[in-house]
Amino acid sequence: MNDAMRANLLGKLQHVAIVAPDLTAASDLYRNVFGANVSAPLPLPEHGVTTVFVELPNTKIELLHPLGKHSPIAKFLEKNPAGGIHHLCYEVADIEQAIQQLSNHGVRILGDGKPKIGAHGKPVVFLHPKDTAATLIELEQV
């Protein structure tokens, strides 16, 4: 394999997403117990989630709760009623290049394999956890 095929894709850890069965309780934990800066809940109906952002000095935590009938995190919460860490999001400079490099190595992209506009208004893809050490990984182009 030549170097061009093995560019370092990984930028910053953009966020860690945690699914919470009780978004108020999870927000209170980070705001009132840990004392962190925590946003108000932001409903994102087109993504099927309500999200709360917890600011850390170097990255952020996103607390997620299902919104609407077809939430992509509903199944996770059924399987994990107490909630838990749902995915990691890494920044990439060029999502098409990332998809190409990953595909060259047999890493599958979820869905139709094409970037969608994610919760932050930027192109994102999710990688198949079976190909990524059992970790659901989102890549976001920045």
**Which residues are tagged catalytic?**
138
Structure tokens at 83: 């909630």
Residues lying near a second copy in the complex (CB under 8 A) are found at 1, 6-13, 16, 18, 20, 25-26, 29-30, 32-37, 56-59, 61, 63, 80, 82-85, 88, 90, 101-102, 105, 107, 129-135
* Cβ distance to a second copy smaller for residue 44 or 136: 136
Structure tokens at 99: 């998809």
Strands 137-141 and 84-92: parallel
Q: How far is the CB of 49 from a second copy (least distance, A)?
A: 15
Torsion angle of C-alpha atoms 89, 94, 96, 97, degrees rounded to 10: -110
* Cβ distance to a second copy smaller for residue 34 or 46: 34
- Residue found under tokens 């919104």: 67
Q: How far apart are alpha carbons 124 and 142 in whole angstroms?
A: 10
Structure tokens at 67: 């919104």
Q: How far is the CB of 36 from a second copy (least distance, A)?
A: 5
* Cβ distance to a second copy smaller for residue 25 or 117: 25
Q: How far is the CB of 40 from a second copy (least distance, A)?
A: 17
